[in-house]
Chains A and B, each alone.
Chain A
């Protein structure tokens, strides 16, 4: 983190120095001269940038730098705050989003080239406008609220900052002096002054406009002017930029053909960089101090709090538990529908962040959420500085309220909220005032933006950061100086200058585009972008573009780590990690399993990781047959081959031949049906023996099919990206496609597509077919495209009892809930209906419960008829009885966890008991007279005791006695287990536990030794357990043998004695299953003997 911040400060100083230089150039001379200079500079640039990379860089600068500039410009003070945010919250999330934006922008110019430059400029202007508006509203507020604490902070910070700036400036100047490139040998202070003046000019423009409270037209002009100003600055900076370019080159370690001068400059720059570094660190420290000034107090507090006694903690726990209980039991809105959320002006809640807590009086939470997002606001789940309003209802969370008060966030109620929307509509002219009021709330948001912008820049170009920082410094200064008189040219002049500059710039951009298009673009397909689906067109081209996969702990990182280390890990014998180990790098596993919902980028991730690491991807997916034989023969052979694929890409030499394969088994959950029989098992054995990494992909890793595979795979789970992550990417695509869609419509679309990036793109491309439809319709569309995902029974049951859902559902919709799974739904309802907290007066609850129960019982009657007489026409009726009517009576919410129907488990247990009972009944039939139920009720416990008690009391001496009982009742050893199971009632102790395990083992042994003759075929009994193992052929024959045996039973016994005497070996027939062959042997033997006789 600290690193990031530093890196982001470094450029700042450099920038400043540059700015100053510019100013030097600009101010003393007439605007015309300026322009000339700029032109020259631009030309220079072009000359300089003869290598492709340079052009690219410069392009980047222009394209990327400008929009961020405008962004950064708008928020006036917040430099300090930005830093704060970064310090406090960390830059990780920011990092993630940035690269996407960057690349997208790059793409715009390089890839598509669809838009003319004018369009681009226009759109930029529009962007500026938007931000301008925000600015306008903000600035007055800040000035008016001079007394505000944050403002003071800001001021102090600014002051502090100033001093470091001086230092910075001095040093860069020196470096430049050395260069002799730019001849400004004025003292740094002077430079500063001039800068400030210039900035003042620009600001004054803003201020003027504000004071006039002018119409939108004026605003636009102003924005334009500002935009232009920025550009002029940029242009002036170009000389600086040149140096920047060099720096970049240094960073990139690209040694291209450059002028000697350039090289020299580089060297100089390096030194200057060093200097800057030191400066930066100093500044950083300062900044940090100022930032943390406020936060430290909090830190202390939290520290104090953390030193709690155990008792206190316990109390807290209890308290929070009670709160949670309340939360679960809390009722719905009391006067639902009493009020209506008024129609507001679109975007009237823009830049407001709400936190909802408690139960509102007359709205469901969803309604309010919807309204807020509709009007451009956003909703936070936790309280933080970003929250601008806390919308509190009844039973609001005390913790949230306390914190809100602490942070000074206005707490509003429902009526205030409605008023907020209404005000926006009543007087549009008042809007600005409204915004002013809201401005404190807006600050944080702006900060956020800036933070994003800043970090983006740090990551991407140094120039960007510089520019943004320039802007910031400007703001600071203006703020610090207050309203200084602007001595300078009139805004019009600036405008003209700017226009010219824009032209120049646009020309450049065009040229750049041309160049880039001229290059062979490997990423493009031969089909050309126009005829590709958006999904393919905007497919991530490298790892950083994958949405939601940035951080160090992301799946992309994990996967590439795993792949790179794969061969190393195979040599090192690693232990199997425990399944709970958190930061496992999967070294043990030979295969990885990527699982996650569709459309989050699993396949893309694998493809890109392979590409980046130089692995050759061998893909098999569900459209290939993947049966056992195919996997065994074809795939495993494939993996031992050498890939020549690099030749086709034009590589020659050693690298072209690679043995680095990855076997990608896509959609392993799609291995189904007859064709793929045995495929999974074979895949697992392939994994065990593989010499190459294997990557498997599936949607649901918890499904039954995957269960065996999961144990052999490094588990990488993909989750759906957050809405805003997708949104930013989608916005940039829309922008590229020239599609204007309100942001909230996009987020609705994303939610409707279930955060599925691919589908969102598909839907957007549908919208793009008819671009200019009105936003309201788009919003409506967005919600209607909702993907139909089959509800699981759990969600369905929640809906059955949910009062909110009932409002919008017809009876038919409700009965559809039943039909999601008509065999399970009634059971679910029955299992859970008592857990529902109906929204009704307490004295009615019992009545409603009884009605629901009555209806459920009727449903059961209908069900019985349906199953008995196959009267499926009654099914809709059952839907009514079993689901709709109970749901109607108990309309409320499920207060507890939804239980899986216990009936299923109990039913299967009951049928198992039946079977056991049946078995024992059959076995003991010769010696008992009771029916099956009497065996169960009367015999079982006594039989068990008769066998078990001797074993418990006399231990191994009791074995004989136990065996005697077993024998006399013709019971098998297994029957003992089933007997204990049968006779064990809930709450009783299993008597088998009392038997010493040695005794038990001894008994089993003796049982096996004494092959008792049975009056029935034990094979039939054992079928259940040993069917798989026993050789099938034998099974058919055995029963016949046995039945034959049973007749000559006595003969066999007699013969046995003889055989015992003759051959003791025949005695040792270990298991009952071997008994049969042995008896046949004895038979054979006896027959021989007979013959002898």
Chain B
């Protein structure tokens, strides 16, 4: 495994991965973050977005993949997919035929004009249908000038070089570049997909876990598999057992479920129930600002009519402003609850 991970990070020794991946648990991998340890090496291991991945797998077999942009939220496997593709396409020549640049590299306009262009012009002997690959991770952080400089390079050397871009935000990639690529959109992973993966990892690591604990990990991840694995590892190393309390102690934030039930109480105009929760949160020592911003975030996705939600958000905003001004006493939170109850009530009558 360690080898595999190294290759991922540093782009060398790509070939042996698939074979080694089976041998992962045997090696001493304790010093690797799990996200690297369990990073998929082949397409079949990639979780989620099956359509796109299977299509890419076809290209991996046949070669001649078009330029691609993979766009999606963090932790859904964009970089992994691209690396898998490159590895499957190039095999042993991965080292020579792949240029990987991410945001940590200098990717100014001159790098594009010199380094990338030079790489594109290089001759690397590859089997038919295989091309050199330039991987630009986090392409949305490239400046517009650099992207402009990339445009024609992508076209002129398409006979020898293909580009694979990964980005969180495809809007930040200029339209001409998008036009030169097939844009693939990755969506957030479903909770079930993450849950399956998390349980798989738990079993591989021989962790003791409870059902609720694992689902708490999934909850904190919010569709981000990387976050899920990180949280899982943190919990495992801290407590050795995955239970909800442990998880939330590691991923410290006011539990969204609590906040949600509090908001539900407000909608029902049950201020006592709501206040109990707030008092508990305050007692746990959360900062008022965190509580309020958490309430705000949860409120946006509350299971209530949009009118109600917006009415509540109006009130939350007021409190948020005050908290930002330094009035971070529990009194403000109590006031917020009261106003939210009133807003919900008013909404019933005339909103």
Q: Does A162 contact B (CB under 8 A)?
A: no
Known: A531-B64, A881-B317. A756 touches B179 (CB 8 A): yes
Cβ contact within 8 Å between B324 and A873: yes
Question: Does chain A have a CB within 8 A of B180?
Answer: yes
Q: How far is the CA of A765 from the CA of B109 in the complex (A)?
A: 30
Residue of A nearest to B159 (CB): A527
In the assembled complex, B128 has its CB within 8 A of some CB on chain A? yes
A-B contact pairs, 10 of them (CB 8 A): A531-B64, A622-B148, A622-B152, A623-B151, A623-B152, A766-B55, A767-B55, A788-B71, A811-B309, A888-B306
Closest A residue, CB atoms, query B316: A877
Chain A residues within 8 Å of B112, by CB? 623
Is B9 part of the contact surface with A, judged by Cβ < 8 Å? no
Asked if B152 and A876 sit within 8 Å, CB to CB, the answer is no
- A759 with B110: CB separation less than 8 A: no
A623 near B183: Cβ-Cβ < 8 Å: no
Segment at the B interface, from A66-74, A386-394, A854-862:
A854-862
The 6 closest A-B pairs by CB, nearest first: A670-B148, A621-B152, A672-B145, A598-B179, A769-B58, A598-B176
Mark each residue of chain A from 645 to 667: 1 if its CB lies under 8 Å from any CB of chain B, else 0: 00000000000000000000011
Bound: A535/B159 CA distance, A: 11
Using A769-B55, A811-B306 as known contacts, say yes or no to A759 and B66 having CB atoms under 8 A apart. Answer: no
Q: Are A770 and B54 in contact (CB under 8 A)?
A: yes
**CB of B37, distance to nearest CB on chain A (Å):** 30
A positions within 8 Å CB-CB of B:
525, 527-528, 530-536, 597-599, 603, 621-625, 666-667, 669-670, 672-673, 675, 699, 753, 756, 758-759, 762-763, 765-767, 769-770, 777, 781, 784-785, 787-790, 810-812, 815, 855, 858, 861-862, 865, 869, 871, 873-874, 876-877, 880-881, 884-885, 888
B-side contacts of A670, CB under 8 Å = 145, 148-149, 151
Q: Determine whether the beta carbon of B67 is less than 8 Å from that of A770.
A: no
Count B interface residues, CB 8 Å: 68
CB-defined contacts of A759 to chain B, threshold 8 Å? 178-183
Inter-chain contact A885/B310, CB cutoff 8 Å: yes
Name the residue among B143, B150, B178 with the largest chain A CB count within 10 angstroms: B178
State whether the Cβ of B208 lies closer than 8 Å to any Cβ in chain A. no
B129 CB–A CB distance under 8 Å = yes
Q: Check B293 for interface membership: any CB of A closer than 8 A.
A: yes
Query: Is B313's CB within 8 Å of the partner chain A?
Result: yes
In the complex, the answer to whether A763 meets B320 with C-beta atoms within 8 Å is no
Q: B51 — which chain A residues lie within 8 A by C-beta?
A: 777, 781
Residues of chain A lying within 8 A (CB to CB) of residue B131: 531
With A and B bound together, what is the CA distance between A753 and B56 in angstroms? 20
Kindly count the residue-residue contacts between A and B in the assembled complex, taking CB atoms under 8 Å apart.
182
- Asked whether, in the complex, the Cβ of A623 is within 8 Å of the Cβ of B158, the reply is no
Whether B66 pairs with A766 at a CB distance below 8 angstroms is yes
Known A670-B145, A785-B183, A788-B178; contact A623-B117, beta-carbon cutoff 8 A: yes
Q: Is the pair A623, B113 in contact by a Cβ cutoff of 8 Å?
A: yes
Q: Is the interface of B mostly helix, strand, loop or mixed?
A: helix
Determine the distance from Cα of A116 to Cα of B151 in the docked complex, in whole angstroms.
37
Instruction: Tell me which residues across on chain A come within 8 A of B332, comparing CB atoms.
Output: none
- Please, how many angstroms separate the alpha-carbon atoms of A767 and B58 in the complex? 10
Q: Within residues 53 to 86 of chain B, which ones have a CB less than 8 A from any CB in chain A?
A: 54-56, 58-59, 62-64, 66-68, 71
The interface residues of chain B lying within 8 Å CB-to-CB of A815 are 300
- Whether the pair B182, A762 counts as a contact (CB closer than 8 A) is yes
Which residue from chain A places its CB closest to the CB of B56 in the assembled complex? A769
CB distance from A734 to the nearest CB of B (A): 15
When each residue 166-179 of chain B gets 1 if its CB lies under 8 Å from chain A and 0 otherwise, what string results? 00001111011011
A625 to B156, CA, bound (A): 16
Given contacts A530-B129, A758-B180, A762-B67, contact A535 B300 (CB under 8 A): no
Q: How near does chain A come to B289, taking the closest CB pair, in angstroms? A: 7
Q: Which residues of A contact B129 (CB under 8 A)?
A: 530-531
What is the CB-to-nearest-CB distance from A882 to chain B, in angstroms, rounded to a whole number? 11
Residue of A nearest to B289 (CB): A873
Are B55 and A673 closer than 8 Å at their CB atoms?
Answer: no
A784 interface neighbour in B171, B180, B185, B289, Cβ under 8 Å: B185
Which residues does chain B contribute within 8 Å of A873, judged by CB atoms?
A: 289, 293, 324
Instruction: Report the bound CA distance from A989 to B345 in whole Å.
Output: 57
Inter-subunit contact B59/A769 (CB<8 Å): yes
Within 8 A of A (CB), among B294-329: 296, 300-301, 306-307, 309-310, 313-314, 316-318, 320-321, 324-325
Partner of A880, one of B67, B71, B182, B317: B317
Contact status A531-B321, CB under 8 Å:
no
- B172 / chain A contacts, CB cutoff of 8 Å: 790
Name which of B179, B318, B320 has the most chain A CB atoms within 10 A of its CB: B179
Closest to A790 in B: B171
- A533-B320 Cα distance, complex, nearest whole Å: 53
B6-24 Cβ-contact flags toward A at 8 Å (1 or 0): 0000000000000000000
Provide the residues of chain A in CB contact with B310, threshold 8 Å. Answer: 811, 880, 884-885, 888
| Residues of B121-136 whose CB lies within 8 A of A | 128-129, 131
Asked whether, in the complex, the Cβ of A535 is within 8 Å of the Cβ of B158, the reply is: yes
Is B144 on the interface with A (CB-CB < 8 A)?
Answer: yes
Q: Is B184 an interface residue (CB 8 A)?
A: yes
Given contacts A862-B317, A876-B296, A880-B313, contact A625 B66 (CB under 8 A): no
Pairwise interchain contact A525-B324, C-beta atoms closer than 8 A? no
B262 to chain A, nearest CB (A): 19
How far does the alpha carbon of A622 sit from the alpha carbon of B152 in the complex, in Å?
7
Task: Output the least CB separation between B260 and chain A (Å).
Answer: 15
List, in ascending order, chain A residues with CB within 8 A of B158's CB. 532-533, 535-536
Query: What distance in Å separates the Cβ of A730 from its nearest Cβ neighbour in chain B?
Result: 14
Most buried by B among A597, A670, A789, A876: A670
Q: Out of B113, B128, B317, name the residue touching A531 (CB < 8 Å).
A: B128
Q: Looking across the interface, which residue of chain B has its beta carbon closest to that of A885?
A: B310
Let me know if B190 is at the binding interface, CB within 8 A. Answer: no
Given known A769-B59, A873-B293, contact A625–B176 (CB-CB < 8 A): no
Question: B222 an interface residue at 8 Å Cβ cutoff?
Answer: no
CB-CB < 8 A to A767: which residues of B? 55
Which of these, A528, A531, A625, A766, contacts B184 with CB under 8 Å?
A: A766
Known: A532-B64, A877-B320. A787 touches B145 (CB 8 A): no
What residues of chain A lie closer than 8 Å to B64, measured between beta carbons? 530-533
| List of A residues within 8 angstroms of B102 by Cβ | none
Instruction: Give chain A nearest CB distance to B134 CB in angstroms.
Output: 13
**B141 on interface, CB distance cutoff 8 Å:** no
The smallest beta-carbon distance between A847 and chain B, in angstroms, is: 9
CB closest chain-A residue, reference B146: A673
The answer to whether the Cβ of B2 comes within 8 Å of any Cβ in the partner chain is no
Among A753, A858, A871, contact of B324 (Cβ-Cβ < 8 Å): A871
Q: Which residue of B lies closest to A791 (CB)?
A: B171
Q: Which of chain B's residues have a CB closer than 8 A to the CB of A769?
A: 55-56, 58-59, 62
CB of B230 within 8 A of chain A? Answer: no
Determine whether the beta carbon of B151 is less than 8 Å from that of A874: no
Assembly CA distance A621 to B112 (angstroms): 13
A1018 to B89, CA, bound (A): 72
B159 to chain A, nearest CB (A): 5
Cβ-defined partner of A770 (8 Å) among B58, B179, B296: B58
CA distance A865 to B150 in the complex (A): 41
Pair A625/B113 contact, Cβ less than 8 Å: yes
Task: Give B117 Cβ to nearest chain A Cβ, in Å.
Answer: 6
Q: CB distance A885 to B309 under 8 Å?
A: no
Q: Please tell me which one of the listed residues B62, B170, B181 contacts residue A762 in the complex, with CB atoms under 8 A apart.
A: B181
Contacts of A784 in B (CB 8 A): 185
Chain A nearest CB, measured from B48 CB (Å): 15
- A623-B149, A759-B178, A788-B170 given as contacts; is B63 within 8 A of A531 (CB)? yes
